[in-house]
Structure 1
């Protein structure tokens, strides 16, 4: 046979694929696997953050080997009408540290980086160079493809990491400063916008400009200038940029999940990560979901490829059903609120109890939580809310326009 043989081939070395590989290696060190990544680094160019309460003991154990920034004295949010300090712990992991840890924790022979894949099938993977990697099971955790079957808008961001020549004085993360101007970078219409600020060290800050919009356009230069303006306004001066990230993430408000899956399904191949439907439809807050899924897949790693694919698909179907509330709120954001008043939806939400907010981000919202979210004075006109909840939204055809 031409090429290698392995038990499990994982295609895509982002957060989902990397954690699956690590969970698999820790639970079953005897299993041979290949983690195949097309880029030059695992994890791409991202930063993932989560609340300290999001993960189980097993989930925290999975992340023990990663260098993370941790804040145990709470975080802050700010809106046009109020400011709130929260008590929950907060964590953050950069893709640079993600890549370094996986290279250290996983066997060298299991990593295939800067390695493009030409074809996936239930019995293995064919690489771009023609090499064949035969496998008992194949897991596809590549990025989300364009799809007319998914509906919604976009979360657009640019983040910059600065180092200063003196302490900046900020001790807590500001995970949502929506007191800023609510216009898009081009300034021609409004969108829900906020700044995200992480004090990564006494002399280092990560500043990110994020906004939600129907239009999939990222103007990195404009967002970068707005970060400079915000930094100057807050007194964070003379910083030297030492890192940067950018992205356009889908905000899923509806669609036909079965049709989406059928359009990209490869018989007998499991689909994980956002490609498989494992994401937070509204916030793109992925760490708790990725950790839970990695541990679940590792616990069923001895299944045959088709049975593993079925197991993962059933998990995806369950996840799609339980995240319907987040898609409904996404429709409220894009279809019910006037663009300049979209901030009111999050402003009302952040008046709710802290533990409810944490469960919301981790996709663990309970029935009582849903009742609390939808009761009280609505942040949008009731007639518009009803129309929004009944609407279909816009197709997420993801042309590269940035």
Structure 2
């Protein structure tokens, strides 16, 4: 999970590491400076992550067979601008979006993934996808804000949105370049330090520094996967292979090899924040589990998943809806029961952070299928009307220029290796 940048956006500190928050701006403050809207999940200031955390929460509920409250879905849908884009948060949706409102690719892509999964929102997702395509960079990738330099996290979350909306990411091109081309340029060669990993962005000299958060996002991006995925075909332990580094499959395997090595000893990813070398990064560890599973490296994902089961409860409780969602995505990717996660019911804990769901069932697969049928009917009606058929860390830092990316986990983004 998971924002980034803006032209000179100020990111404030978070209390714990790893909660998925779009990094464009800041982490939500403990004491909200604005009233918490009806229908929104979480109790912290939504200014910088309202759409992000709502999208992850609704997507996690849908994935576990929960039918979200109507007003929770309506709140998210109502945040969309006429252009199709989403900002991190709009306090007054009666007021049209204007040039002063900073819309971003991360919030928009997360909303697309959630609304596509919920069904009945094809017109909205189509408009959002069109906007995302309109701000694609010439290298095939995306930055956090329109015109911002491409980064691994933003490019990957948008690729996931395209896939969720029924698009083939490899066919979404600008100047002949696809998201895979942009991500390939951010993959570190196997024979260099951090080989196999993805960098968030090149440094000022054009060099690439391994970034675990960007790597987890990058693996999903090149696989064309969103926040929610199941385990890929089981394979041998991933190893970095220069011979296949030019293919999406090779990039994913190389990225997974880096992640597998990073969690091998302790079972978790460590904070990249200076002075916190031994502090766990819960959110990025959850993202790494999802990425490893998607690649098929389930054997390498078992240890970090087990570590999260034993150690993430306090972090999730303090961090809120997006954190619960990240843990649910990790459990789901590994075929584990999120209702029995280290003795905790993640689904119930997530539900308790917002409006009471319309319905809940423990038969997740069955609920998802029946819900999909209803969604298809809703989409058919929507089609007749409209003609149409988802990682940084904590700290206080000033981001200048274009490009900060995800903040705390999920798709947060860390620029340090």
TM over 0.5: no
Normalized against structure 1, the TM-score is what? Answer: 0.27
Q: Which has the higher contact order (CA 8 A, sep 6+)?
A: 2
**Structure that is richer in helix per residue:** 2
TM-score, reference length from structure 2: 0.26
Which structure features the higher share of strand residues?
Answer: 1
Instruction: Give 1 or 2 for the bigger CA radius of gyration.
Output: 1
